[in-house]
Structure 1
Amino acid sequence: MCGILLFNSNVRCQTTAQDVYLEYTEGDDIIKPSGKDAIDKIVPYIVARGPDFSSFRCLKDVNTCWFSSILSLRQPFTKQSIVIDGKFVLQFNGELYNNAIDQNGNDTQYIVQLLSQINVLDKLLSQQQIIDVIRELDGEFAYTISDLVNEVIYFGRDTIGKRSLSYCTDSETHDLYVASITGTTSKDFINCIGGQIYIFDIKERNFINTTCTIRNSPYNVTSMIDEDMKGLITITNELFQQLTNAVSKRITTIHPTHIENSPIAVLFSGGLDCSVIVALICEELMKIPSNSTVVELLNVGFENPRTGLQPAVTPDRKLAVSSAKILKELYPDVDIRLVEVDVPYKEYLKVRPNIIDFMYPKNTEMDLSIAIAFYFASRGHGFITKDDGTRYQYNRKGVVLFSGLGADELYGGYHKFANKTTPELVEELVRQINNIHDRNLNRDDKVIAENGVEVRYPFLDESVLKYSTSLIPINYKINKHILRNVARMKLNLGTIAEEPKRAIQFGSKSAKMTKDGNKNGTDILK
């Protein structure tokens, strides 16, 4: 996980190129006046995303400044931003799972190797080659690539948009800003579309090739129906293997020092999706001889004045306790710890303005109720309850978090899908999965990464996405029938496989916190 901030000024910088490591001075005169206020506001957010290292670079020849922060999960440790042969400056945030990367290798260095082979003397050819490099990447990422020779900036997110990235072109100064997170600023930042490759010409001050994407087309959901469900067992086995692979590579690409000394954490409601992920993690850990990795289940519950409920009796807390018990019985050799994150109403009120700031430009009641639940869960300041009922304080130690996001969009989990015709269900699932970059991922990544952790999404693995959208019959996706079958047949999750869908804001009681509970989720925050 890293934080990315790029600023390209319309006015030539009057300073020499330089690197400043682990320090940044507010109002630094390296940055042109038009960008100072916005940059000073954004930098602290970028620092929070990468607690291991940060650096600032400014190159006058291209009027561009880069600020990067790093949470290092792979060796060798690589400082960012990276100047490549005097041709490119690279910022990369995320994890890659390309087969060409050695298990103990570094994904950023992999991109460096690919870019170093590009001939920048031919502008059109180099543009296509850079696009080809971006399309080669498989993982969870956001990036900026600055072509110093041709004065072109490329930036964007992976195919589905698992890492947050926003941009702004100032209408008055014509300056360009690109950032992982911005907070509320005077600038009108726009969330980047998942999979779109943004190409900005520094000299012309405009975007070129505005239809360029990583994938040739959006994800399309098959309308195939298997009326007799003759392929159910085969599809169940294949989906299980797809998910197993997705989880496996997200574990094995954590550097061994993290695996040995730091737990793996899971955002855990106790429901079907996250319980499948936990079981698959445990299955993978069981393959590692003498492995002692802890699995932290992060469950959040809110004190809700409107309902009078305390965190301990929220629906998700009750479900998490019962599901964690099943998982512990299934995997007695894995140290599974249910971390109960209780959020008092006073703490909610204290943090609320910060969450509204973090998730900008999202600004609805529903966005807040979801974002604040993920923030507290990923922060992980909670308790563990012993068998005798006593509790002791426990703070999350894992820096890699797993999430079950994407299962509802892929396998028809939302209640509103229940009574749709086949064409309607296909259309809705296409819309859901292709819009998840804006509806969920940008917001969630911003608030979760604020706690200096990285979240990984096995259900949104590229191979899982392709398989689930194109090869699973649509009638297997009514009420997540196929995923429930995986949970029953392959993972023996028992009653967990039957759990109905419950949105986190209702399960944790982070929605409608006051007696003014008639607000709709789509209402704009005040």
Structure 2
Amino acid sequence: MCGICCVVTLCSQHTLHDFLNKDILCLLRRRGPDSSQQLIKTASDLSYECLFSGHVLHLRGMMTPQPLEDADNNIFLWNGEIFSGVPVGDLENDTEVMFRHLTLCSSEADIVSLFSSLQGPWSFIYYQASRHSLWFGRDYFGRRSLLWQFSNEVDSAFCLTSVSVYSKSSNQWQEVPASGIFKIDLNACATTNSLSLTLFPWKYSCTEKAAEEIFINVLDQVSKDFPKHIRLMMNESKLCLRAPVIPLNKTISEISDECPGSNSSISHTVSVETLQGFLAEEHKRKIVHRLIDILGEAVKKRVLSLFRDEDQKTREVPSMTNGKAYVAVLFSGGIDSMVIAALADRYVPLGEPIDLLNVAFMVKEQAKQKGATKKQNSWEVQPDLLCPPQSCKDLDPKISAHLSCCAVPDRISSRAGLKELEAINPSRTWNFVEITVTLEELKKMRQQCINHLIYPLDTVLDDSIGCAIWFASRGEGFINNQGELIPYKSPAKVVLTGIGADEQLAGYSRHRVCFRKSGLEGLNKEIEMELDRISSRNLGRDDRIIGDHGKEARFPFLDEDVVSFLSSLPISEKVDLSLPRGIGEKLILRLAAKELGLTASTILPKRAIQFGSRIAKLESNSEKASDACSRLKLFSAENL
């Protein structure tokens, strides 16, 4: 994880630093606490000037300060991880490797080919000195944040940054679309004193028919929010990046295309034994084991591709007091986080703890009592499948008060999940970190920084999810050390998250609505749309949120090989929404969890973090998720 930033001015009356807010620099340094540097590049004829600002979180190989500059004056800023496609040795730094490959590129086609070969999350800024070109962009899924801002027509300035702050000016920040990579010819722009961008879009195949129509559609989509004085063009050679995943298999067999809810042989009382019946089928079992292998490899890359201190290379089991965790999991006890934790256990060195980060928000007693009177839904897992919440009555009064929301759903399911993981590997130190947030602390931290990290997104849903993930990934809470709850702050720089599972495996309630209305054909279209928009709906925001703690978000379910494998399967092999909640959605993942040795967690229904953590109950029950969030607007006047 790094914070990268670039400011370009064309014959401007203002200095570069006029366009770089000091608050932005502060947020960039939080993302990259291990090194901060700036570099200014001025054209020989003074027609343009560029400021490059790099802030590094050291995770791989030797510490490599950014921006990088070579003897030919090329400059590189990189916020990413290369997991495949370009070889990176165990002791190498991927920023240096990527810069070396870039400087060997002699044409636009070479650069496009290089980025087409990468697997892993990335955003980058590259100044190609010999051609006065500025290249930048985000990976196919947009797993790393990059924002842009265009100045007014008079100033002719352009800014790129990993994170920004809200501005009251008319020049608002927007997320750089994950539609391809972009190039700016700085000499040409300086000559006309206007900004023009050239796009090299992602495509599944560069030999597709109607390519011209696809180019036009991408251009229209990307440029719809551009200021009128900014021009966006397709590259003259019609070069495109090869998408790193295969298209979604939309095949629907006659057998699987039954009427919704027609599978009456399955009892509406969901049980773990139900899954065993599916696994008795050899074909199904083979597919499940293939998923375990591919997803396991994705987790392996993400837990081993990071720098570890020398004393962590032993395989001995450490005590709670001296074991340092390098990997954490955003942990709700649900199926996604349980599978990730179980697979991480396979590859994280045995002598190394794994931090399980669970967040809960203190809800007023009245609200809790009101919620307790609600009738239990017929699809919910039977209570005796889960461990009851631990009593808080014998704890120190201060800790007891801090943990007064023991009944928050994700806290209950997480404690149950912890017991399952301990049963799978009792030799592992599992640091279950209970992170409990009060309304006062939520309001304080939202106003201080979380608002800026969520920006430019602004909905109620963005606020709920963004705040929950910020507190969870900060990792400050309590752990149980031999029966005693002690304060703990997770030192892990890598945070694994389960995002991508629901989008690919029909985990959201809207998928059931779509299935009831339009069957499997409609469900396929919905899932295809989910992946197409995941960069703008989720990933830029989550990267900014988690990166604020000097930690890096890693997404195993969005590994290119995992996505391609799941996309290769017909929908009927992955889900069965004619079955009840807790089994029909993400069915293939539930079967994988069963094979990994998990039990009650395999049949937990999907519960979104804003509801499981109870943040959605704290401040307003009358809002819709898609509404603009008034709480995110307040800080513009109060903080700036």
> Helix, strand or coil: the match of 2:149?
strand
- Aligned residues of 1:218 and 1:434 also touching (Cα < 8 A): no
> Helix, strand or coil: the match of 1:405?
coil
1:525 is aligned to 629
Counterpart residue type for residue 4 of structure 1: I
1:166 is aligned to 147
Tell me the distance in 2 between the aligned counterparts of 1:36 and 1:266.
40
Tell me the distance in 2 between the aligned counterparts of 1:507 and 1:270.
10
Counterpart residue type for residue 320 of structure 1: S
Render the CA deviation track for 1:493-520: whole Å, top value 9, x for unaligned: 1111111100000000111413x42111
- TM-superposed CA distance for 1:160, in Å, is 0.6
Q: In the alignment, is residue 284 of structure 1 matched against residue 347 of structure 2?
A: yes
2:434 is aligned to 340
Tell me the distance in 2 between the aligned counterparts of 1:56 and 1:405.
34
Of 198, 204, 212, 1:209 maps to 198
Change in Cα spacing, 1:206 to 1:467, as seen in structure 2 (3 Å) is farther
2:375 is aligned to none
TM-score calculated relative to the size of structure 2: 0.74
- TM-superposed CA distance for 1:11, in Å, is 2.2
Q: In the alignment, is residue 92 of structure 1 matched against residue 117 of structure 2?
A: no
Of 131, 145, 150, 2:131 maps to 150
- TM-superposed CA distance for 1:104, in Å, is 2.6
Counterpart residue type for residue 105 of structure 1: E
Of 228, 250, 255, 1:223 maps to 250
Tell me the distance in 1 between the aligned counterparts of 2:545 and 2:243.
31
Render the CA deviation track for 1:139-192: whole Å, top value 9, x for unaligned: 111111111121111111111111111112213322110000012123311112
Tell me the distance in 2 between the aligned counterparts of 1:510 and 1:49.
25
2:511 is aligned to 417
> Helix, strand or coil: the match of 1:182?
coil
Q: Map of 1:84-483 to 2, 5 A cutoff?
A: 84-98=70-84, 100-119=87-106, 126-172=107-153, 173-185=155-167, 186=169, 187-203=171-187, 204=189, 205-213=194-202, 214-216=241-243, 220-225=247-252, 227=255, 231-257=283-309, 261-285=324-348, 288=349, 291-305=350-364, 307-308=367-368, 310-353=404-447, 354-386=449-481, 388=483, 390-419=484-513, 420=515, 421-478=519-576, 479-483=585-589
Larger deviation: 192-201 or 86-95?
192-201
Tell me the distance in 1 between the aligned counterparts of 2:157 and 2:17.
8
- TM-superposed CA distance for 1:343, in Å, is 0.3
- Aligned residues of 2:116 and 2:244 also touching (Cα < 8 A): no
Change in Cα spacing, 1:137 to 1:217, as seen in structure 2 (3 Å) is closer
> Helix, strand or coil: the match of 2:332?
coil
Aligned residues: 495
Change in Cα spacing, 1:216 to 1:378, as seen in structure 2 (3 Å) is closer
Tell me the distance in 2 between the aligned counterparts of 1:48 and 1:202.
30
> Helix, strand or coil: the match of 1:256?
coil
Tell me the distance in 1 between the aligned counterparts of 2:282 and 2:11.
65
Tell me the distance in 1 between the aligned counterparts of 2:16 and 2:69.
25
- TM-superposed CA distance for 1:98, in Å, is 2.2
1:76 is aligned to 62
- TM-superposed CA distance for 1:472, in Å, is 4.8
- Aligned residues of 1:48 and 1:449 also touching (Cα < 8 A): yes
Of 33, 39, 42, 1:60 maps to 42
- Aligned residues of 1:51 and 1:70 also touching (Cα < 8 A): yes
> Helix, strand or coil: the match of 1:501?
coil
Tell me the distance in 1 between the aligned counterparts of 2:307 and 2:23.
32
Change in Cα spacing, 1:195 to 1:250, as seen in structure 2 (3 Å) is farther
- TM-superposed CA distance for 1:110, in Å, is 1.3
How large is the Cα RMSD of the aligned pairs?
2.1
> Helix, strand or coil: the match of 1:435?
helix
Counterpart residue type for residue 520 of structure 1: K
1:25 is aligned to none
Q: In the alignment, is residue 8 of structure 1 matched against residue 67 of structure 2?
A: no
- Aligned residues of 1:223 and 1:474 also touching (Cα < 8 A): no
> Helix, strand or coil: the match of 2:84?
coil
- TM-superposed CA distance for 1:87, in Å, is 4.6
- List alignment gaps of at least 5 residues for structure 2: 203-240, 257-280, 314-323, 370-403, 577-584, 631-640
Of 486, 511, 515, 2:616 maps to 511
- Aligned residues of 2:16 and 2:50 also touching (Cα < 8 A): no
1:23 is aligned to none
- TM-superposed CA distance for 1:293, in Å, is 0.8
TM-score calculated relative to the size of structure 1: 0.89
- Aligned residues of 2:11 and 2:156 also touching (Cα < 8 A): no
Change in Cα spacing, 1:7 to 1:496, as seen in structure 2 (3 Å) is same
Render the CA deviation track for 1:196-228: whole Å, top value 9, x for unaligned: 212122232434433523335986321234648
- TM-superposed CA distance for 1:473, in Å, is 3.8
Change in Cα spacing, 1:162 to 1:217, as seen in structure 2 (3 Å) is closer
Tell me the distance in 2 between the aligned counterparts of 1:218 and 1:424.
21
> Helix, strand or coil: the match of 1:391?
strand
Tell me the distance in 1 between the aligned counterparts of 2:288 and 2:294.
10
Change in Cα spacing, 1:308 to 1:352, as seen in structure 2 (3 Å) is farther
Tell me the distance in 1 between the aligned counterparts of 2:361 and 2:504.
29
- Aligned residues of 2:138 and 2:146 also touching (Cα < 8 A): yes
Larger deviation: 310-319 or 95-104?
95-104
Render the CA deviation track for 1:46-67: whole Å, top value 9, x for unaligned: 1110111000100112510011
- Aligned residues of 2:466 and 2:545 also touching (Cα < 8 A): yes
- Aligned residues of 2:8 and 2:16 also touching (Cα < 8 A): no
Counterpart residue type for residue 560 of structure 2: E
- The sequence identity of aligned pairs, in percent, is 29
Q: In the alignment, is residue 496 of structure 1 matched against residue 601 of structure 2?
A: yes
> Helix, strand or coil: the match of 1:90?
strand
- List alignment gaps of at least 5 residues for structure 1: 14-31, 120-125
Tell me the distance in 2 between the aligned counterparts of 1:372 and 1:482.
30
2:259 is aligned to none
1:22 is aligned to none
Counterpart residue type for residue 311 of structure 1: C
Larger deviation: 227-236 or 143-152?
227-236
Counterpart residue type for residue 593 of structure 2: A
- Aligned residues of 2:245 and 2:564 also touching (Cα < 8 A): no
Q: In the alignment, is residue 51 of structure 1 matched against residue 33 of structure 2?
A: yes
- Aligned residues of 1:410 and 1:468 also touching (Cα < 8 A): yes
Tell me the distance in 1 between the aligned counterparts of 2:611 and 2:250.
32
